[in-house]
Each structure stands twice: as structure tokens, then as C-alpha cells.
Amino acid sequence: MDKNVRQSKKSWMTKEILTNAIRDSFKKLNPKEMIKNPVMFVVEVGFIITLVLTVFPDLLEKNGNALYNGIVSAILLVTILFANFAEAVAEGRGKAQAESMKKTKKDTPAKLLDKNGNVKILNSNEIKKGDIVLCETGDIIPNDGEVIEGLAFVDESAITGESAPVIKEAGGDFSSVTGGTRIKSDRLKIRITATPGQSFLDRMISLVEGASRHKTPNETALTTVLVSLTMIFLIVVAALYPMADYTGVRISVSTLIALLVCLIPTTIGGLLSAIGIAGMDRVTRFNVIAMSGKAVEACGDVDTMILDKTGTITFGNRLAAEFIPVGRATRETIARFALIASLKDETPEGRSVIELAARQGINIDKSEYDKAENVEFTSQTRMSGLNLPSGAQVRKGASDTIQNHVTGLGGVIPKDLQSSVDKVSRLGGTPLVVCIDREIMGVIYLKDTVKPGLVQRFERLRQIGIKTIMCTGDNPLTAQTIAKEAGVDDFIAECKPEDKIDVIKREQAEGRLVAMTGDGTNDAPALAQADVGLAMNSGTTAAKEAANMVDLDSDPTKIIEVVEIGKQLLITRGSLTTFSIANDVAKYFAIIPAMFTIAVPQMNVLNVMGLSTPQSAILSALIFNAAIIPALIPIAMRGVKYKPMSAQAMLAKNMLIYGLGGMIVPFAGIKLIDILINPILKALNLG
């Protein structure tokens, strides 16, 4: 992402967005577009009727006032344009970001490898799913894929905006690569996993542009309420005409239309779509891609958050800090066999064991172990090591797993093993037990650190009623220590992938919405099961496809901020809806007395604002109704400021600010407009 685009994140409005939004506001006047927003479509119909009455003032009534009809028509047009402008601004922000992404999406040369390993140069759009391509230093990766051979630094700034390259390698959770990113060093063989036009970048562009945006369930429900209110007021206003005629009051069609437009929820009707688009946009600008607006909205309703310990709650760089001998083993013995067990372990933990042994002066001839069979760690076996050519088995792993392994071979558990394991666990570290065949040598103390500030962040979540559950493969004592230090509500120790699914289903069965993060293939089922699944961009393709959100920065703690953005979206929509409906009270006191005071002088008691003339009152209310929409656009774009608090406190605050404020502001605004326009209306003989 280039510098200009990154800077544009700081502002919700730029000159380019403003220019495009003004143009699009007129384009959206097309009835085919307006019908998507029923409330504003009614306003457009009213505009068309008053426009016709401006040209043919006597069409529906005798002695119609063309000038008055024209002014009402002009104000209605401005109201529609302001509503269209709000939506166009929201869309424009997304389109601006999409344009920067499109710059990275271009036909690039791709090095296709055939079955014999020969390289054939093709355009990237000719590469098919399943093809194997070679990418070397400086090459742009032609499409999404999985690394099947090699290790290299990849520049993902085109996607994430961050200049620091990331490591991609075959196997594990960092094998997924994205089309449009560039190889900074070394080379990779990549199996393409996406067809042209359906890559992750393509989907990002489509989502950011809004082409794939559909109304969320809450948005649809609110639209239904707004349409119902509009229909009710339409019936009420239509019934006023014969009632007024019966009492001898002459009400022009333009006045009735003005009353209808002021009473229907035009404010929220004009801003509703913009609020939804801006909510997705805020998530996107936070470097999270939401696969749908429903996913963002679901974040606001989350009750339970599932968090991995490693990399989320702790830094994840568990490094060997100490070798603790047990039984008859010495410190040198445990260090030696820990080193042997880690020779082919390419994880950070494995490399740290080798480094610690070297610092302690333990040296071995690594060539002696070239033919040793590597036993990789899995979530099921929970141990790794080497099978030596001599037949000996050297293992390191979780305490219970190694104990079962040793006792299964007829070995005896040292009496001081459990105390050493407990000591490491109480320190918040991870104990790895080392054995050779049926003899346990000792414990490796892997030290990890809880990320600063998490206690306060989890307390914030607790204040808004969100329960946090930490999942970890550590033993219960270590898990308990870390959970207490971090401040999470609950934890699951010795957690396997299926355990995550079980806890998600359990929480959902109790009526809760669940969010979780993940990056590995084994996280995919749980990500799919969760109501909000946030996958890391550095993770596997399976994880990203299973989730409904992708974090481009691959920061597992970002789920906390994403949930708060979802809360902000719901609060913004609710607050502006409250404000919009409260607005109608003032408009009622402005227009109704103005319509009936001439024939029924007693109605003047309702003219609490002391508005000058009936025409001035009606037009003042109509002008305020139009002006309030652009005044609220910044709130719709940025969102209502969110602070963690209980639902009751939040409701009380919003009712005070947006409910009571929604009634007070129109009284002051309409009165001010009346003072300003009354001399003008008198000059036009409309006063």
C-alpha cells in the first residue's frame, strides 16, 4: 500500500473522495438505485410530484403557488442528494483503497515448472489452479498458493502496508502466500491454489469496493421498521387531507408532502447504508478483511472470545532458559540429550535448545546423526525427537506424554520429576521432559512472557460482558499460572484442535456468540464453527478459507479491537436511529400548528417555538430535515465514540445524548432557520 493511501487512513474525507461523492450523488438519483432505500425513494417520489406542481401549479389544486412548490421541490432534491452523498462518501473510501490494491494486480511473468522441472515463462493470468511455479528474488508471486519447497522472505506491503518482509516456508502454518506479493530473498516452489480472478486479492478488492456487500440481518430488520413507519405516516398524512377539508382548512399538496418527509425517518434512512459501509471500512482500514458485513456486525454481539495462549496472550517465543536434571542424570547429560532431540527441530523452541546447549559448552558431531529418523511433533503425540541408527529413541515433549512413553517401555519415573515440572509451571514456563529410551534425563525450562497491557484489555472486555477463554497445550498448572497473570476468565489446558470445537459448540448451545483466532490447518474447523473467525494472513489457506475475517497484520490480539469495532457499529446505528426518531417530535410541533392555525386559532398553543408564519414553519422544518443529514455524516463515518460499559449504562447514555439531544437540537435549529428565512419569504410574498 503506498504512502498516500496509508496517509488517507487518517481522514474520512479527501478531495478525490469529495469530488467522486458529489458526482455519484446525482448518479444515484436513478429510481432503480433509489428503490433500494425505500424511505428515500418516498422522498424522491415527493420531489417528482412537487416538481410537476412547480411547472403545472393548478394541476391538483386551484390557485397553486408555483414558487412555494418550487422551493419545497428544491429542498427535497437537496435532501435526497445529501443522503446519496453520505452513501457515496462511504463507498468512495472503499473504492480509494481498492484502487491502490488494483495497482498491485497486474499481469506479471510467471515461471511455470513442468513435470521434468523445466521452466516455462507465462503470463500470470495463464496460470491454473494446481500448477507449480518457481519464484525467485525480485519475482512477484502470480497467484495465491502454498509453498511446497524452500524458505524465503516475502514482501507483503502490497497487501498489509507493512514494509518488513515475512518468512514463508514449506510445511507448517507459514506456507500460505498471496498473489501480488514479492520475493525479497531466496526462492520458493509454490503450488497455486486459486484460479485467475478468484485470488485473495481479487476478493479483497471486491469486498472493499462494496460489490459484494449485502445488508446484514440487523440492517434488514431496521430497514423493515423504517419502511413500516414510513407506511404508517403515509396513511396518516393521506388522512389529513379529507380531515382538513372537512374543517375548512386548505392544505396544499406540497405542504402535505413536506409534512410526510419531515415525519418519516429520513435521517436514519439516509445514513443507514453509509453506517454499514463505514463499519466494514473501519475494519478494513484496521488491516482486517471482513468477508461480509454480517461478520463485522456479529463482532458487536460476541459474548465469548476463544484465545490461543502462544502468540496471542504470550509473545510465543518460548525459549530454552535452563536444563534441570532429574534422577541420576547430570546437567551435562540432560543438555546433551536435549540437544540431540532438537537437532532436526526447526521450531524456535528447538533452535533455542541448541543455542542454550552451545552456550553451556555442549558440543557433538552432528554428522553422526544425519541418518537418524526425525520424529516430528504433532498435537496428538505431543513429543518429538530422533530415532538413532543404534535403535535408541531420544524424545522431548509434554511431561505426561513422556511419562507414558517411558512407562510403556518398562521404565521408572524419577521421584523428583514432578517437583521439577511443577517448579517450571509455577514460574509460568513450559516444561519439556527429555528421555532416552526408558530413562528420563530431566526437564527443559521454556520461558514465555505475557504481553503487557492484556490485563487491562481483558478487564475492558469483562466490563461489556465478554467472557475470555484461553486455549493452550500446556499442562494445567502452567495454564493456570498464565491465565491468572493475563486475567482471562477461564482456560483449557492440554488443548487439542477438537477441544476448541467442543468449547465453541458448548458456548453456542448456551445462546452465546463466539469469536476466535487461528492460523493453522488444524484451526480451520473451529474457525468455521465460530460466529466470528479471524484467520491470520500468515496462516494456511485452509484457515483463511474457513474464517469470515482475515487479519493482514497476522496479530492474534487484534480480535479484541475487531470486537470493539463491531460494538461501535451497532452503537452508531442505534444512536443515530434514536436521534432520527427523536427529531420528529420537534418537526411535529413546527408543521402541524402551521397547517391548522389559520382555521383553528386554538392550535397556535402548539407553536411552542413561536415560528413566524405557516410557510416559514414548514420550510424551516424541511430545511432542517435536509441539513441534519450531512451534519451527521462525520459521526456515521467515524462511528460513535465507544467506551466499555454495561448494556444498561450504554442505553441510558445514548438515550440522554441522542434521545433527549435529538429532541432539543431540532427545536433550536428550526427556530434559527425560521429567523433567517422569514425576511426572505416576506420579500417573495410567501410570508
User: Active-site residue numbers?
Assistant: 308
| Rounded Cα distance, 583 and 619, in Å | 15
- Establish whether 575 is an annotated binding residue: no
Phi, psi of 396 (to 5 degrees): -140, 145
Any known ligand binding at 345? yes
Known binder of ligand: residue 281? Answer: no
> How far is residue 597 from each of residues 63, 243, 618, measured CA to CA in Å?
20, 14, 13
State the pairing for strand pair 109-113/176-177: unpaired
Which is nearest to 603 in space by CA: 614, 587, 616, 618?
A: 614
How do strand 514-518 and strand 532-536 relate by DSSP bridges? Answer: parallel
d(CA 300, CA 428): 33
Residue 579 labeled ligand binder: no
Residue 362's identity, in one-letter code, is I
Strand 490-492 vs strand 467-471: parallel, antiparallel, or unpaired? parallel
Q: Is 365 annotated as a binding residue?
A: no
CA atoms of 44 and 35, how far apart (whole Å): 10
Q: Do the annotations mark residue 491 as ligand-binding?
A: no
DSSP letter assigned to residue 339:
H
CA distance 209 to 202: 11
* Residue pair 144/165 in contact by the 8 Å Cβ criterion: no
- Element (H or E) spanning 244, and its range? helix 217-246
Is 382 known to sit in a ligand binding site? yes
485 is in an annotated binding site: no
Question: Any known ligand binding at 420?
Answer: no
- Work out the angle between the directed axes of helices 614-638 and 558-596 (0-180°, nearest 10): 180
For residue 476, give Cα distances in angstroms to 33, 58, 132, 458, 511: 58, 85, 44, 21, 28
User: Is 384 labelled a binding residue?
Assistant: yes
Q: Kindly state the greatest CA–CA separation across the chain.
A: 112
349 annotated among ligand-binding-site residues: yes
Q: Can you tell me the distance from the alpha carbon of 569 to that of 296, in angstroms, rounded to the nearest whole number? A: 8
Q: Residues annotated as binding site?
A: 345, 349, 377-384, 396, 519, 523
Q: Residues annotated as binding site for Mg(2+)?
A: 519, 523
Q: Residues annotated as binding site for ATP?
A: 345, 349, 377-384, 396
